[in-house]
Structure 1
Amino acid sequence: MTSFPVRLAPLIGAVALAGFAHAQTAPQYAELPSETPAEFRAPDAGFNYVKRTVMIPMRDGTKLNTIIIVPKGVQNAPILLTRTPYDASSLVNHADSADLETILTGYDNAADVIAGEGYIRVVQDVRGKYGSEGDYVMNRPLHGPLNPTPVDHSTDTYDTIEWLTKNVPETNGRVGIIGISYDGFLPLMALVNPHPALKVAVPMNPMVDGWKGDDWFHNGAFRQINMSYMLEQVVTRANTAKWPVTNYDDYDMYLRAGSAGALGRERGLEQSGFWNKVVAHPAYDAFWQQQAMDTILARQPVTVPTLLVHSYWDAEDIYGAVAVWKAIKPHDTENKVFLSLGPWSHGGAIGDGATLGTLKFGSDTALYWRQQVLKPFLARYLKGDGSVPAIPTVTAFETGTNKWRNLAAWPSGAVEPVALRLAANQKAQLGGAADAKGYDEYVSDPAKPVPFRQRPIPPYGYDEAKGQTWPRWLVDDQREASGRTDVATFVSDVLTAPVKISGEPVAHLVASTSGTDSDWVVKLIDVYPDQVGSQPALGGYQLMVAGDIFRGRYREGFDKPKALAPNKALAYRIKLPTANHVFLPGHRIMVQVQSSWFPLYDRNPQTFVPNIFFAQPGDYRKATQRIYHSSYVELPLVKAAQ
């Protein structure tokens, strides 16, 4: 505490008294009324909908902000619900429009189907986000070991549907739920002990298993590019805290920071409860296993018609939809589970599906899907219109030939596993005998990791107008990588007949490292002819059909990290994302193998450490990597025409 000299005390006292006297005698002015109303109620004359905002109480007393949009004049209409952590008001953000389809245009809204078919649209903030009360927990687990409270997304959905069916006079009491990404995870949660009024679920590109292959890790490799999302989504209710952008090129920013853990500390992420959980659980332990929605739903009876939607080039949740399909379809005795696979990016089914990056599909594939799959599915099961024919069990767009296929199962047809061997002289060879002795070799240097796309790499989250092409990076030309000395490349001869694959390619890699840990990235690529007259930009294009990463320490079990034996050939089995693709005559098939995919994934120090989040600068070391010619990619080859 600061003390004043004694001689100043009388002066200070006098000044204080004078100020008090002035305050007592200061003239009082009349208040100037504010020109802002306490609440503005927008006129809706001429609008073709009525909008209501309500706070719906949950069983624990928490109230959730909910926006209800009712087309004018509808009666006995079904409800289509979306629950979101991304601000319900922003999903219906054209408040100045009198047109229902216009206000529904945007994320999570297949506006043409929803508006045109007379559904009551309901969008709700999940607990703890934006206008809703309560506490926010990322992908809030079900009640159980990870959530001791009596409430979760399953109960919140149940309570919401219960309230809606009793308090929306225009509804017939039939409810469906739809959403993309995190909002696609929430329809899966709704299928756990579902409300009897829930008639359909449409999980689109859902987040299912954050460790195996969706947002947070892929086979143990940390997707550090999502760190900005982790901060912005968790540390404030309304995402007001923003990730500082310090470099135009994300590659420079992540490399300068060192480990993901060091960058997290630098940016204050340790204040986030979710970040601390991620850092504490780098392996596939009970924390991740108990949250895996495919495992959870495999234990549930299939009672609600469900349409799973998958995108072949989903940069965020490429694992989830197919994983749920494989988990629950075997238990579907009444054919209530359907699957759609399209040539889209994350959430692309509600946008323009005619192109993706440089690719052109010859038609608007997303419009086709909305009109020919989503619309009749909702009409039959949500409206209850039995006169509408059931959609095919599987609708799968076939890339390469650019045709839709209606299938009875997935994968479908006479699928036969065929080995694409990584042979000598950088050859990829369909079938034939394996070479047990030879290998290709490269040096992996953590100081110069392989970029996951051509640099400069704009910060994650930039919009399209600012140069953000993140949503479609999976269709980037892979020539940038194939020309590097730290990428092993194997390519087939020019094909003289089509080669069709349907399902998951599986890389059977036999590899060694001079280090004690290593990442392995395997990419299956369609190499276009040197010249493509109809589209010159595709001349020689290297299109990644499927690719993924595997962290070597988990070779013996995802929950059992273990150092690798240096310079010893070890076997790895790496599942790649599902594909439905035809390699056309005149094309070639390529496989690329590398040991970093930066900065999408954090760098492996190539020295075994207990937790890579805390790797120190001295742990990052060059390593000599060998890919043995006994390696191959198992292709799910379709032998007979469908």
Structure 2
Amino acid sequence: MTHTRKPILRSIISAALLTLAASAAVAQTQAPLSAMTPDGVKSYDSIRPQADFIKRVVMIPMRDGVKLYTVVVMKKGTKNAPILLSRTPYNAKGSTSRTQSQKATEILSVLDEVFIEDNYIRVYQDVRGLHGSEGDFIMNRPLRGPLNSTTTDESTDAYDTIDWLTKNTPESSGKVGVIGSSYLGFTALMAEINPHQALKAAVPQSPMVDGWMGDDWFHYGAFRNTNIAYTVGVTTGKGGGGSDPTGVGDDYSRYLEAGSTGDYIRHWGFDQYPFLQKIMQNAAYTPFWSQQAVDKWFANHDLSVPTLLMVSQWDQEDSYGAPAVYKAIKSRNKDAKVSLLIGPWPHSGGNHYGFKLGDIAFKGDTALEARINYIKPFLDHHLKGSADPQLPAAMTYATGADKWQHSAQWPAGKPTKLYLREGFGLSFEAPDVKPSANQAQGHDDYVSDPSKPVPFIPRPINMNDSSQWKPWLVRDQRFVSDRPDVLVYTGPVLDKPLHIMGQPLVELFAATSGSDADWVVKLIDVYPNVSPEGGQGVMTMAGFELPIGIEIYRGRYVRGFDKPQALPPNKIEAYQFGLPHVNHVFLPGHRLMVQIQSSLFPLYDRNPQTYVENIFNAKASDFKKATQSIYRTKAAASNIVLPVVEN
């Protein structure tokens, strides 16, 4: 008995001593402090021991010695895991610190939740020259070649990053995927050019592909004024953000009073920004643009990385890029491992919540559905060896019908011409009007006045206000329908659904009394002018004019985007351009509408309607009224080619 009591007694004594030591420690920390004890502390690690994740910050060396700031996040216990990489100009530190939570799902974005919870290693990296990374930043840094004589580009930086991560992340399986939207979509595509052998899959979302044709900077030659503030923010202080000194008033008045967009840039001192200088020096489709268009690279090289391209149906920033790359890849190799996903969102909307957009509501969270049903199974298959989801050529959300659909090809519809007709009507039957002495029989006219441009949304306008900017492409168009400088063509009430899947194409026959002109075309779904049951103040869609596609074309480029020319006054020209890609069902009881105008301000810079060599340098005297004529004759039959699906 005495022998067994000794260990018990020692345990009791040890426990007592530990308790006394702990009490002493508590007493020591709780000792009274002087009122003059300094209250500052050198640092505090917000990632506490109870956090469910590991975060590492590393500086990864590139082949030229420049080091890039990189944040690696994974759940504790992660092993043999794939890496999902995003290369960003928007601050890798901020992308991995959404909150100061101790949960990985709360410090990362909504997009990352399904991945970080399923044994993925999430990596964000600042592109060179921005935020925590070394080196010089160049907007959409071109590939090594005619525009880039250095040894590095976004392709080599992605390669070197992947190489380092797979060799220095012990929890990694050695397989890597890239994902990201907008600028991050651009860097994802660049990673696929001469890719690292560990890169097994890519999901470029709304990528910046051709900034002149239809992504951020221009649309068919018309400059997008929103990019002035964007450039100032991204290229000031390593991406720290330059303050816009213009205030928060009505952008419509501010830009109008400044004169040309070039005058606006110079007035506020923004001409000190190199990228804005490059834009103003390359108003036309010069080699500066054409030689860095990413789709042209894919048109000439085989795709080796399985790719899921994404774009938003109402993408207000980068509607052009993903479909252009998809077309380029498929044109080169119809069996290439690439699919296209189009969701009912604004720009980058697939990475957030997808219950609604503006006044349009959907049955569920369409963005989450896309992530769970398409994006993650695609990445799981290529990075984790799970079952092949066998994605079709295209996965698109049918707005109007409110459901996801799969297509074996894209576009899926049959080209069908919808003609502008007399009496401001629309018909699938071609006009049979021959030119005569009475030209009014064959065209409709309006006067475009640059001093009173058509606004792109109701005033007052603040293009930095996301509540105005994100949903503008679904804004009810009744706010301009009764303007005399907007032509409105309306079809009969539909007695059955009309389903389109693909890219509507504009074939516009038009003339101007000036020597230059912009042409804006809108395809619209007009809702029945009836209200469902609802109390007072309940919002309805009665009579709503929902844009399905809006696009602008600068007339001076009708002979070639690299060959701007003055338009001969009153000469009919044939303009052909595409609207954004869509999957939409016009329901019975609805009507089709087409609106045509010559400005979309202040989103797009004003066309003076007098030809000048460089619109950025237009003077006040160059801005003149012009009579615009839209033709609907047998020989000049303006129409929109709809990709109609036979149900």
Give yes or no for TM over 0.5: yes
Equivalent of residue 420 in structure 1, options 411, 418, 421: 418
The question of whether the paired residues in 2 share the 8 Å contact of 1:441 and 1:627 is answered with: yes
Question: What's the counterpart of residue 46 of structure 1?
Answer: 50
How far is 1:58 from its partner?
0.4
Cα distance in structure 1, aligned partners of 2:643 and 2:333: 26
How far is 1:247 from its partner?
4.4
TM-score normalised by the chain length of structure 2: 0.90
The question of whether the paired residues in 2 share the 8 Å contact of 1:419 and 1:632 is answered with: no
Cα distance in structure 2, aligned partners of 1:514 and 1:351: 47
Equivalent of residue 590 in structure 2, options 583, 587, 591: 587
Question: What's the counterpart of residue 73 of structure 2?
Answer: 69
The question of whether the paired residues in 2 share the 8 Å contact of 1:200 and 1:381 is answered with: yes
Equivalent of residue 457 in structure 1, options 454, 461, 466: 461
SS at match of 1:417: strand
Structure 2 residue 639 is matched with structure 1 residue 638? no
How far is 1:391 from its partner?
2.5
Cα distance in structure 2, aligned partners of 1:184 and 1:584: 34
Question: What's the counterpart of residue 242 of structure 1?
Answer: 243
The question of whether the paired residues in 2 share the 8 Å contact of 1:500 and 1:582 is answered with: yes
Aligned length: 599
Pairs within 5 Å for 1:99-110:
99-105=103-109, 110=111
Cα distance in structure 2, aligned partners of 1:505 and 1:42: 52
How far is 1:534 from its partner?
6.0
The question of whether the paired residues in 2 share the 8 Å contact of 1:259 and 1:616 is answered with: yes
Pairs within 5 Å for 1:149-548:
149-332=150-333, 335-385=336-386, 387-412=387-412, 415-437=413-435, 438-458=442-462, 460-463=463-466, 468-533=467-532, 537-548=540-551
Cα distance in structure 1, aligned partners of 2:38 and 2:167: 40
The question of whether the paired residues in 1 share the 8 Å contact of 2:341 and 2:394 is answered with: yes
Range moving further from structure 2, 599-608 or 626-635? 626-635
Equivalent of residue 611 in structure 2, options 608, 611, 625: 608
How far is 1:39 from its partner?
5.0
Cα distance in structure 1, aligned partners of 2:362 and 2:334: 35
Aligned-partner residue type, residue 601 of structure 2: F
Cα distance in structure 1, aligned partners of 2:382 and 2:618: 52
How far is 1:533 from its partner?
1.2
Cα distance in structure 1, aligned partners of 2:318 and 2:38: 48
Q: Is there any run of 5+ residues in structure 2 with no aligned partner, and where?
A: 1-35, 436-441
Cα distance in structure 1, aligned partners of 2:37 and 2:520: 65
Cα distance in structure 2, aligned partners of 1:356 and 1:146: 39
Return closer, same or farther for 1:61/1:594 CA change in 2, 3 Å cut-off: same
Return closer, same or farther for 1:43/1:609 CA change in 2, 3 Å cut-off: closer
Question: What's the counterpart of residue 90 of structure 1?
Answer: 94
The question of whether the paired residues in 1 share the 8 Å contact of 2:505 and 2:577 is answered with: yes
Aligned-partner residue type, residue 410 of structure 2: W
SS at match of 1:448: coil
How far is 1:35 from its partner?
5.6
The question of whether the paired residues in 1 share the 8 Å contact of 2:206 and 2:311 is answered with: yes
Cα distance in structure 2, aligned partners of 1:344 and 1:240: 27
The question of whether the paired residues in 2 share the 8 Å contact of 1:335 and 1:393 is answered with: no
SS at match of 1:156: helix
Cα distance in structure 1, aligned partners of 2:420 and 2:471: 28
Range moving further from structure 2, 621-630 or 236-245? 236-245
How far is 1:434 from its partner?
4.2
Cα distance in structure 2, aligned partners of 1:247 and 1:35: 39
Aligned-partner residue type, residue 632 of structure 1: S
The question of whether the paired residues in 1 share the 8 Å contact of 2:520 and 2:550 is answered with: yes
How far is 1:436 from its partner?
4.2
How far is 1:34 from its partner?
7.2
Question: What's the counterpart of residue 15 of structure 2?
Answer: none
Task: Report sequence identity in percent.
Answer: 49
Equivalent of residue 601 in structure 2, options 594, 598, 601: 598
Cα distance in structure 2, aligned partners of 1:146 and 1:560: 21
Aligned-partner residue type, residue 601 of structure 1: Y
Cα distance in structure 2, aligned partners of 1:220 and 1:333: 31
Aligned-partner residue type, residue 496 of structure 1: D
The question of whether the paired residues in 2 share the 8 Å contact of 1:421 and 1:434 is answered with: no
The question of whether the paired residues in 2 share the 8 Å contact of 1:436 and 1:629 is answered with: no
SS at match of 1:338: strand
Range moving further from structure 2, 227-236 or 550-559? 227-236
Range moving further from structure 2, 390-399 or 512-521? 390-399
Q: Summarize deviations over 1:527-556 as a string: whole Å, max 9, x none.
A: 110014168521010011111000000001
Aligned-partner residue type, residue 159 of structure 1: D
Question: What's the counterpart of residue 29 of structure 2?
Answer: none
SS at match of 2:471: helix
How far is 1:38 from its partner?
5.0
Cα distance in structure 1, aligned partners of 2:625 and 2:79: 68
Cα distance in structure 1, aligned partners of 2:172 and 2:211: 36
Cα distance in structure 2, aligned partners of 1:337 and 1:230: 32
How far is 1:240 from its partner?
3.3
Q: Summarize deviations over 1:141-195 as a string: whole Å, max 9, x none.
A: 1111111110110000000001000101100110111001001110010011000
Cα distance in structure 1, aligned partners of 2:189 and 2:626: 42
Q: Summarize deviations over 1:254-308 as a string: whole Å, max 9, x none.
A: 1111111111111222211111111000111111001111111222211111110
Aligned-partner residue type, residue 192 of structure 1: I
Return closer, same or farther for 1:178/1:637 CA change in 2, 3 Å cut-off: closer
Return closer, same or farther for 1:622/1:640 CA change in 2, 3 Å cut-off: same
Q: Summarize deviations over 1:189-222 as a string: whole Å, max 9, x none.
A: 0011000000111101111100000100000001
Cα distance in structure 2, aligned partners of 1:328 and 1:254: 40
The question of whether the paired residues in 1 share the 8 Å contact of 2:445 and 2:628 is answered with: yes
Cα distance in structure 1, aligned partners of 2:343 and 2:533: 23
How far is 1:628 from its partner?
1.0
The question of whether the paired residues in 2 share the 8 Å contact of 1:397 and 1:580 is answered with: yes
Q: Summarize deviations over 1:474-513 as a string: whole Å, max 9, x none.
A: 0000111211000011101111121111111111111111
Question: What's the counterpart of residue 130 of structure 2?
Answer: 129
How far is 1:66 from its partner?
0.4
Cα distance in structure 2, aligned partners of 1:489 and 1:533: 26
Aligned-partner residue type, residue 77 of structure 1: A
The question of whether the paired residues in 1 share the 8 Å contact of 2:431 and 2:632 is answered with: no
How far is 1:383 from its partner?
1.4
Aligned-partner residue type, residue 422 of structure 1: L
Cα distance in structure 1, aligned partners of 2:530 and 2:292: 48
Return closer, same or farther for 1:274/1:639 CA change in 2, 3 Å cut-off: closer
SS at match of 2:124: strand
Return closer, same or farther for 1:637/1:271 CA change in 2, 3 Å cut-off: closer
